[in-house]
């Protein structure tokens, strides 16, 4: 049961990361062809999705490493650094999206 569940988690995780990247690139294409507030919003959404993909990829990596028994062989400092980068990317892109939307609302 655990192996089947892990395969489902890996498949869903990979699909989610792929979806985030695909939609982020779609926003990038829109962003390059837009002007004004729409451009700022598509840029912020694009960054948000790249941050989401980074968090998803890191989570997927840790799940695979744990399932295969390799996680104990990864130094704790490296694990912590990866987690810090993952959460940092998510926090930065969320704050950026909030600021862009707040500025749009104030204009």
Chain segment 38-82, per-residue pLDDT in tens: 899 999 999 999 999 999 999 999 999 988 999 999 999 999 999
CA distance 97 to 92: 9
Please compute Rg for the chain using Cα positions: 17
Chain segment 17-45, per-residue pLDDT in tens: 999 999 999 999 999 999 888 899 999 99
Q: What is the pTM of this model?
A: 0.85
């Amino acid at each position: 049961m655990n192996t089947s569940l892990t395969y489902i988690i890996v498949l869903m995780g990979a699909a989610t990361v792929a979806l985030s990247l695909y939609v982020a690139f779609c926003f990038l294409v829109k962003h390059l062809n837009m002007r004004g507030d729409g451009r700022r919003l598509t840029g912020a959404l694009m960054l948000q999705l790249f941050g989401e993909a980074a968090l998803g990829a890191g989570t997927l990596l840790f799940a695979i490493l744990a399932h295969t028994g390799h996680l104990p062989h990864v130094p704790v400092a490296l694990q912590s650094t990866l987690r810090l980068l993952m959460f940092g990317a998510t926090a930065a892109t969320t704050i950026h999206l909030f600021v862009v939307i707040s500025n749009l609302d104030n204009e």
